[in-house]
Amino acid sequence: MIDVRRDFPQLRRRIKGKPLVYLDSAATSLKPRQVIKKEQEYYTRYCANVFRGIYRTSEEATEEFENARTKVAAFIGAKESSEVIFTRNTSESINLVASSMKKTDEVVVTIMEHHSNFVPWQQLAKLKVWKLGEDGRLDIGELETLITRKTRLLAITAVSNVLGTISPIRHICRIVKKINPNCLVLVDAAQAAPHMKINVQDWGVDFVAFSSHKMLGPTGVGVLWGRRELLEQLPPYQYGGEMIKEVHVDRTIFADLPHKFEAGTPHIAGVIGLGAAVDYLQFLGMGAVRKHEIEITDYALNALKSVKGVTMYGPPHSKDRGGVIAFTLKGIHAHDIAQLLDEDNVCIRAGHHCAMPLHEYLKIPATARASFYVYTTRQDIDALVIGLEKIKKIFQ
Ligand code: PMP
């Protein structure tokens, strides 16, 4: 892939004379100048509310906003852009769907879900939990014992934010629908959409949620994609301005999709910025993005293997995983690792990564996690390894 680092202004920042080694892209990605510029363009050229004004600036803002929706729809292979709902983040997208479910609904989740795709369902009923097979992969055979004629929904992550495990969504969805054609499938694509080509129709699923901020876009914007006929059946999530067609003292007629789910003024600059992020990723090509991820993950898996005392979690081969590696270092707490690496400006994450059920299941209190993206280099991984060796000496 072409060298993209010059597009990321934050990578030029030095702290105490040291370069930034950013290995926390699974939490949020850095932003390229093209996205920053586009957001700024809204604030400096056509700042106005969307859908309301009949003056040119507002029309310009509305056009840019809706262009972003069209770009997102094309990016994920949606049939039509009105199936793309803008929310605040992945969490809100999932909550939107969960809010329409009944307390009695039977929901199946995997043990490796982020709390975003676990807690909302847990509020409904007792969850049925799909455990992991060998190497942190799902045992597809188990699905047949979990999904019943009564199951209302399967909530599953496309890529685990801890193990990196890539779930074969298309295959899983086919099995689910064969057992129970009425069972809905919701995919948490927060760690997939930024890193690989996804196609919601090809997957055959019903809902897909992801966040702008993990795919080079601004914070404060999320996406919920849903099949039109299902979105039409769902009640609105929030009520207020812009989500109505008519309001009378005794009744309200709601707006059509997607506006029915977008009450109030949206994060206009953020959505327009997300459009620029999609342009940027399309320019790189999602095939190239994924290729780089496999290469860098492969390099990191081998490099970390050489550090004595390191245990890594998740599938052993880079082709089966996304660009995250959770690991422990014998005798040293993950928080100490992250804190000491920070002294050399190496940023990694430590803790349960919003996946406490998974950590309980694996019987580990915390892991350290390094995660990669388009700007990650082998030198970044080398800096991590050097840092870990240094930490081991301190704790000797
Ligand atoms: N799901 C996964 C797999 C994630 O990695 C994250 C973010 N760490 C989320 C959901 C939640 O995303 P957000 O905080 O943007 O709602």
The reply to whether ligand 1 has any atom less than 6 angstroms from the CB of 93 is: no
Ligand 1 centroid to residue 314 C-alpha, Å: 18
Q: Is 47 a catalytic residue?
A: no
State the average pLDDT over residues 81-106. Answer: 94
| E strand or H helix at 312 | strand 310-312
Q: Is the pTM of this model over 0.85?
A: yes
Tell me, in angstroms, the distance from the centre of ligand 1 to residue 90's CA.
Answer: 6
Ligand 1 centre and the CA of 246: distance in Å?
Answer: 35
For residue 349, name the pLDDT band (cuts at 50, 70, 90): very high
* Residue spans in the chain of domains classed CATH 3.40.640.10: 35-283
pLDDT > 90? residue 155? yes
Asked if omega into 236 is within 30° of 0 (cis), the reply is no
Q: Is the dihedral of CA 234, 247, 223, 71 positive or negative?
A: positive
pLDDT average, residue stretch 322-336: 98
Residues of the chain above pLDDT 70, percent: 100
Catalytic residue among 173, 183, 347, 354: 354
pLDDT value at residue 1: 76
CA distances from 117 to 94, 170, 211, 230, 298 (A): 7, 19, 13, 19, 28
For residue 237, what is the DSSP state? S
- Name the segment(s) of the chain with CATH classification 3.90.1150.10: 5-30+286-395
Among 246, 273, 335, smallest CA distance to 32 is for 273
- In this prediction, residue 78 has a pLDDT band, given cuts at 50, 70 and 90, of very high
- Alpha-carbon dihedral angle through residues 26, 69, 157, 236, given to the nearest 10 degrees: 120
CB of 25 closer than 6 angstroms to any ligand 1 atom: no
- Report pLDDT for 335: 98
Q: How far is the CA of 160 from the centre of ligand 1 (A)?
A: 10
What are the tokens at 48? 């106005």
Judge: domain 35-283, CATH 1.10.10.10: no
Map tokens 């199951």 to a residue. Answer: 151
pLDDT score recorded for residue 139: 93
How far is it between the farthest Cα atoms of the chain? 73
Residue nearest to atom 5 of ligand 1 (CA): 161
Q: Is the pLDDT of residue 228 over 90?
A: yes
In this predicted structure, the answer to whether residue 102 has a pLDDT above a threshold of 90 is no
**Per-residue confidence (pLDDT) for residue 125, from 0 to 100:** 79
Judged against a pLDDT cut of 80, whether residue 47 lies above it is answered with: yes
In the prediction, which pLDDT does 292 show? Answer: 98
Please name the residues in contact with 334: beta carbons below 8 A apart, sequence gap of 6 or more.
328, 350, 351, 366, 367, 368
52, pLDDT greater than 80 = no
pLDDT tens digits, residue range 350-363?
999 999 999 999 99
Q: Choose the residue to mutate in 113, 211, 212, 223 for probing ligand 1, maximizing ligand atoms within 8 Å of C-beta.
A: 211
- Is residue 132 over pLDDT 80? yes
pLDDT at position 304 over 80 = yes
Q: Is 113 in the pocket of ligand 1 (CB under 6 A)?
A: no
Specify the pLDDT at position 340: 98
CA of 51 to the centre of ligand 1 (A): 29
Four-way CATH pick for 5-30+286-395: 3.40.50.20, 3.40.50.2000, 3.90.1150.10, 3.20.20.70:
3.90.1150.10
For ligand 1, atom 12, which residue shows the shortest CA distance? 90
pLDDT at 356: 97
pLDDT band per the 50, 70, 90 thresholds, residue 312: very high
Atom number, ligand 1, closest to the C-alpha of residue 213: 15
pLDDT over 90 at 133, yes or no: no
The helix or strand, by DSSP H or E, that contains position 225, with its residue range, turns out to be: strand 222-226
Ligand 1 atom with least separation from CA of 27: 8
DSSP state of 268: H
pLDDT at 329 over 80: yes
Nearest CA to ligand 1 atom 4: 190
In the chain, the percentage of residues whose pLDDT exceeds 90 is: 95
